[in-house]
Amino acid sequence: MNNIFKIFSLVFVIASISFKAGAFTVNDHRIAVLVNDKLITSYDIVQRMKMRALLNGIDITPENNNQLANIAVDELIKEILKIEKLEEYSISIDENEYLLQEKAFYENNSLSKEDLKGLFTTNNIKYSEFKNYLIYEISWQKLVSGIYYRLASASEIEIEEIILKNPELTTDIAKNIIIQKQLDLKSSKMIRDLFNEATIEYK
């Protein structure tokens, strides 16, 4: 059985987790990071840590605690920067777009919505955290595609190389894989640029 089905409480073996110069408990809402005047609190970080750990089927331990905290902070910073860019371009998704993405997630993870909600409840995680995470990811992909898709292309040689390695793929699928890789690279560059231009203050 997939580890994600295991209902477990993500117990912080130490009473608080460290981040930069200070430490915070799992229940407080102290400001941990300022990103272009947007706040990331200790509560936000703990929620994201727990959600990521749960979705990946891992426990939070003293050994991986700081690493997971830093990953969560990095993700939350980038999320704020993405949201600012999405607002700049007035990008939004409708309910059908969200439901399709949500359905794809559960199909790919062999996990039902009820199962995940139960796990979240057990571990004191808001399901809205996960829903917003999906919404932002869909919206970001929509933005990247809108800006760069028309500039992406796949040559016959590239398509042939993909099919040679994966004979079961059709030409269209191979082409889509190549274009998606190009879009992913553009996405990564956009995020790096936003990160470099941002005002980020760690508390």
Decide if 136 is inside a domain.
Answer: yes
CATH number at residue 12: 1.10.4030.10
- Tens-place pLDDT, residues 117-169: 998 998 889 999 999 999 999 999 999 999 999 999 999 999 999 999 999 99
Decide if 130 is inside a domain.
Answer: yes
Please tell me the pTM assigned to this model: 0.80
Decide if 159 is inside a domain.
Answer: no
Specify the pLDDT at position 3: 36
CA dihedral 50, 56, 60, 62 (to 10 degrees): -130
Contact between 48 and 33 under an 8 Å Cβ cutoff? The reply is no
Q: Which residues contact 5 (CB under 8 A, 6 or more apart)?
A: 111, 115
Decide if 77 is inside a domain.
Answer: yes
3-state SS class at 14: coil
Cα separation, 199 vs 4, whole angstroms: 36
Specify the pLDDT at position 27: 53
Can you give the residue range of the structural domain that contains 111? 3-148
Contact between 21 and 37 under an 8 Å Cβ cutoff? The reply is no
Q: What is the mean pLDDT of residues 177-181?
A: 96
Decide if 169 is inside a domain.
Answer: no
Cα separation, 153 vs 176, whole angstroms: 9
Determine the residue type at 74: D
28 pLDDT band, cuts 50/70/90, is low
Decide if 117 is inside a domain.
Answer: yes
175 pLDDT band, cuts 50/70/90, is very high
Q: Does residue 17 have a pLDDT over 50?
A: no
Cα separation, 194 vs 85, whole angstroms: 9
Q: Which residues contact 8 (CB under 8 A, 6 or more apart)?
A: 59, 122, 123
Specify the pLDDT at position 15: 29
Decide if 195 is inside a domain.
Answer: no
24 pLDDT band, cuts 50/70/90, is very low
* Tokens encoding 15: 């009473």
3-state SS class at 32: strand
112 pLDDT band, cuts 50/70/90, is confident
